[in-house]
Every structure is written in structure tokens, then in C-alpha cells.
Structure 1
């Protein structure tokens, strides 16, 4: 059985803790990478050697080590790896709390689990690893329960970009110009206004200021 696992995390202490969690029963063959480019190259080489990794456990945020890196975030790493090994299993182990960003990982890359770096995180990670390897539905952690139930409104990257500009006090015409320049569609003023109204209804907000206050409290902005 393929039990190769690659841990991609900038911090040695995190990688070591994850390896210790994996090696409790000497079942897993583990390797680590401190930057996204190195992680990608290890995945690529393993495929070439016909000894591919079964699972990637990756952080989302990596510190700049002043190299000319091609991949600079966990999302970029996951996207690149999925193109060369679509069937690899992925667990994101991160301190990220913005739900739109986490949701996009499930929606866009079909990751297997998200585990929040916090209290009891290694216990939650161990559960996610075990469930991923035995092909069962993974357990839902306390953080994920919060993500999917309390904050069940799903916002898109478009919504997030729109909310960000609204929070900066941009007018409709200014948002339209920015979206058109960045090729973000729809960028018409009427469409933008309709989307803002839709978000107000979704979040039960009285006005734009109230909407921004709500999404900030929820960690969506």
C-alpha cells in the first residue's frame, strides 16, 4: 500500500510535530519541504520514479526566503500539483480563518480535509489522516462545524473582491472601473449593485456598512 506523505510547511517545529503524529505506528513514509517549489519538485520526482506520494499535508502561508520562487502559497502549490497528479490526497493544515478562502480550496481543488492550527490541532489532524487513508468520510472538527453551519453563506472570489472595495468606501462607478481594469466580470454598475443587494439579503444586513461589519465579524474579510 502506498503510504508516502509529503509535509509542506515553513516552520521546522510544525513539520516535526506532524511527522511525529504520522510515525506513531511506523506506517507512513514521510518527507518534508520548507517551500512550495521544493514540495512541487519532490512530488514531480516521485511521479517520475513511479513512487508517487499518496498524501500532501500543506500549510497555506509560506515565508519569503528571498529566492526567485515560482510558487509562493499553498493554493499555488496545490493547483500546480493537481495538474500533474490529480488523484493525490490533500490535507490543508493552516491557521487560516477566512471561510471564503477555505471554501475555495474544497470547491476548486477538491481537497480532502482542512485542519485548523490551534488547540487540539494534532488530534484533529490525526483523525483526518486516518480517515483519508481508509477512504472514509472524514470527521468534522469543531472548527469545520463552525465553518459549515454558523457561517453557511457561501461567498465567491467575486463577492470577496466586491466586499473589499465596498469596505474601502468605493462608489459603484469606482468599483466598476476597478473591475473592468482587472477584467473581473460582471463589471457593469447595475450588476455590481445587484450583487451588493444580494449580499445584504444573504447576510440580513440593513445597509452596506452593516454588511461590512457582519462579514468582518465572521472572518470573511
Structure 2
């Protein structure tokens, strides 16, 4: 089993529950933090002391307060950690259930597990830790794993990226039609573009075009 683990969440109750779970698994040393910057500094110090952590358990969303944080999200923390200590195992423990965000974490950020917070999340958390320690497969909570495997889910391609970029520049739908025609991007009809924008809003759970752009920028898609 892992010897040294660090967990980060901005809620004390979550940190306490995770720490208790780790202790039940017999993990010798457990540290915790409420801020991403603090977590990263602890990981770096552990490396300098030649006593590195074996596993990071992190939330994705952290509320802003009076502190000026360089790393403001779980994704930013994971990205920084993977550069500083590439072999560190990472388990995300979050209430976030958007499949596109999870796919990005698995495919681009190299996480080792994802547990969805909920009523039965502690048993899943134990399974995830044991699974990550025992093998190289990515552990995903069954409830959200089913969504990832759903073939009806929208796939984001180059066409969608170009469409989102155009929206982010403030282009109107008519201007996008004109731009796509000039650049020979198809489909370029007004109806097709409108339908695709609506599908993207549904997929990303966006209330309007501005919200859609904010979400996709946060995800690093544009």
C-alpha cells in the first residue's frame, strides 16, 4: 500500500473524511492542505527532503478568498505536479460530473483515478486507492464511467473548436457562416451552425453563448 499521501480540499469535513479513509487502509503518513499552492509546496519540499509523496488526492474546484493563489484549480495543480514529479499518482475526488472535463483529465493530464463525491463515495474511494496501487488502469466511479462509454455523447472535433473560437471573438452567426464559407469549412450553412451551437450548449450545460465560451476556455479547448 502507499506509504505517503497528500490530500487537498478546501472543506475541512472532506479532508477529515479522506484522511480517516487513508488511515483505515493502513497508510503510514497522511498530510493535507486547503490550497493548491500549499499542496504544491509540500510536494516540492518532500522531494527536496528525499521523502516524496506516493499519491495526491485532489478536488477540482477551490473557492477564492483573501489569498492570492497562483494555482487556482485542481487541473492547474495536477498539471504543475506532473511536471515537478511525473511519477506521482493522482486521484481526483470531486463532485464534478461533466464527462468532457473527466476525459480531458484522463487523456491530457494523466490522472490515475476519478471518484465522484456522493452518498457511496467513501467505499469507492477505498477501491480507487487500492486499484491505483495494484495496477496501471485508471479507476473511474461506475456512475460516470457509464456516461463516458455512452456512444451517444457528443464528440468534440476540429469543426467545433473553430466554431468556438469564432464565437469567442464575438462573431455573429452570419459572420461565422461567411468565415466558414471563405475557409471552406463545412457544414457552413446557417441552420447547421445554429444546430451545432445548440448541441454544444447542451453538452457543456451552458446557459448561453457567453457561458459556453467561458466553460470551454476554462477547459483549455480554446
TM range (shorter): 0.7 to 0.9
Q: TM-score, normalised by structure 2?
A: 0.76
What corresponds to 1:13 in structure 2?
13
**Distance in structure 1 (CA, Å) of the matches to 2:18 and 2:177:** 43
**Distance in structure 1 (CA, Å) of the matches to 2:67 and 2:93:** 24
**Distance in structure 1 (CA, Å) of the matches to 2:7 and 2:183:** 41
What corresponds to 2:92 in structure 1?
92
What corresponds to 2:117 in structure 1?
117
CA separation of 1:207 and 1:96: change in aligned 2, threshold 3 A? same
Q: TM-score, normalised by structure 1?
A: 0.76
1:194 is paired with a residue whose SS is coil
The CA deviation string for residues 182-221 of structure 1, in whole angstroms up to 9 with x for no partner, is: xxxxxx63598837x49xxxxxxx8445444444444464
CA separation of 1:111 and 1:138: change in aligned 2, threshold 3 A? closer
Q: Report if aligned partners of 2:173, 2:194 keep a CA contact under 8 Å in 1.
A: no
1:74 aligns with 2:74: yes
Q: How does 1:1-221 map to 2 (within 5 A)?
A: 2-135=2-135, 137-140=137-140, 141-150=142-151, 152-155=153-156, 159=160, 162-163=163-164, 165=167, 170-171=172-173, 173=175, 189-190=180-181, 194=185, 197=187, 207-219=192-204, 221=206
CA separation of 1:174 and 1:212: change in aligned 2, threshold 3 A? closer
1:109 is paired with a residue whose SS is coil
Q: Report if aligned partners of 1:97, 1:219 keep a CA contact under 8 Å in 2.
A: no
What 5-or-longer segments of structure 2 have no aligned partner?
Answer: 207-222
CA separation of 1:64 and 1:124: change in aligned 2, threshold 3 A? same
Q: Report if aligned partners of 1:92, 1:111 keep a CA contact under 8 Å in 2.
A: yes
The CA deviation string for residues 28-64 of structure 1, in whole angstroms up to 9 with x for no partner, is: 4211010000000000000001111111010110011
Question: Aligned-residue CA RMSD in angstroms?
Answer: 3.3
**Distance in structure 2 (CA, Å) of the matches to 1:50 and 1:156:** 43
Q: Report if aligned partners of 1:162, 1:175 keep a CA contact under 8 Å in 2.
A: no
1:9 offset after TM fit, Å?
0.5
Aligned residues: 202
What 5-or-longer segments of structure 1 have no aligned partner?
Answer: 177-187, 199-205
**Distance in structure 2 (CA, Å) of the matches to 1:13 and 1:193:** 54
CA separation of 1:213 and 1:153: change in aligned 2, threshold 3 A? closer
